Every structure is written in C-alpha cells, then in structure tokens.
Amino acid sequence: MIPAAFDYVAPRTVSEAVDLLRQYGYDAKVIAGGQSLIPMMRFRMAQPRVLVDIGKIAELDYLKEEDGYLRIGALVRHSTMEFSPLIQERYPLLERRCESKRNRVTSQP
C-alpha cells in the first residue's frame, strides 16, 4: 500500500528539531531509522503530516559518563555500546544486554 502524502525534514541540530516539533505539534512524527513507523505508514495506521528525521543530528550521538551518570544519546547504536571501553569496564551488565539484544534482532527463525 502507498502511504498518505507527507513532508520530510532533516534538521541538523536539536534546536532545529525542537522548533519543527513545536511548529507541527501532533502532526509530526520523529524518525531516526523508521523501522516501525514506515510500515505503519504504508498500511495507513499512521498518517503524519511531517516526518522529522533526527538521524543526522550529531549532538544526539554520544556515550559518556558525566556527574556520576551514564549518558546515552538517542542515536547511539547497540553495537557502539557493546564495544565501548566505558561500557565494558564500568557497566558490564549493560554490555551483555546489548549483545543479547543484537543477537535476538539479527537471528533468523
């Protein structure tokens, strides 16, 4: 099926993304990869007027320890966490969880 018409925007900063979401409100949907939203749009189960693609916002791709907290950006991949020296040394349970998730997602029935 063909999705309903929509506009596509790809902001380069968090500030731009927030402004777009504020402007379009509930008519906008955020995507970074679209693995679940795009199929829903094809069946018209979701019909956003605007897609705001955050996949190119470098500010959201970070993994760091700061003020005693682990901070994980919205665009950090499971494989980045799994192979991160910080995660391996300080958060080994999280590393194992990432590995488990990756294996489950990529396994074939």
Which two tokens mark 79? 């494989």
Minimal CA–CA distance to 30: which of 15, 13, 8? 8
Q: What is the pLDDT of residue 8?
A: 96
Residue 62 bridge partners (DSSP)? none
Cα–Cα distance measured from residue 21 to residue 41, given in angstroms and rounded to the nearest whole number? 19
The whole-model pTM stands at 0.78
Do 86 and 64 meet the contact criterion of CB atoms below 8 Å apart? yes
Helix, strand or coil, per DSSP, at residue 53: strand
* pLDDT tens-digit readout, 35-91: 888 889 999 999 999 999 999 999 999 999 999 999 999 999 888 988 999 999 999
Phi–psi pair at 78, nearest 5 degrees: -55, -40
Q: Which domains does the chain have, with CATH numbers?
A: 7-58 (3.30.43.10), 61-103 (no CATH)
Per-residue pLDDT of 12-33, as tens digits, reads 999 999 999 999 999 999 999 7
